[in-house]
Amino acid sequence: HVQLVESGGGSVQAGGSLRLSCTVSKYSRYCMAWFRHAPGKEREGVATIDGNGFAEYADSVKGRFTISKDNIKNILYLQMNSLKPEDAAVYYCAADRRWRCAGWSRPSQFGHWGQGTQVTVS
C-alpha cells in the first residue's frame, strides 16, 4: 500500500511563496506529480518529475513553481513563488510506478494520491 501525505499548505497574500511537501512511503524514485483542484474546475496537472529528474510544468505556473524530490528522504516538493489568486486550490501529490511521465497532466495516469492540502491566496 502506497501512502502519500501532503503538507505545507496555508494562506498567503498574492505575490507570496509557499513550499508544499509530500512524504511518500515508496515510489518516490518514479514518476511523481502535483495536481490542484479549485472549486468549479477540473483537477489540473501542475508539475511532474520523472525518474531521471526531468520536470515539466503547466503553462500557468512556468517560471513561478519548481518541482523537486529527495529520493533518500522520499519527499516530493513544490516551491511556489509569485502566487496569484488563481493558484488557490487543494493541491494533491500523485505517484505512479513508471519511470517516465507520459501523459502526466491526466489524473488517470496516476495510481496513488495523497489527501490534499489547501492553498489560499488573497
C-alpha cell at 53: 529528474
At residue 1, the pLDDT reads 80
42-52 pLDDT tens trace: 999 999 999 99
Backbone φ and ψ of 78, nearest 5°: -140, 105
Taking 90 as the threshold, does the pLDDT of residue 101 lie above it? yes
Neighbours of 74 (CB within 10 A): 16
Cα-Cα end-to-end distance for the chain: 37
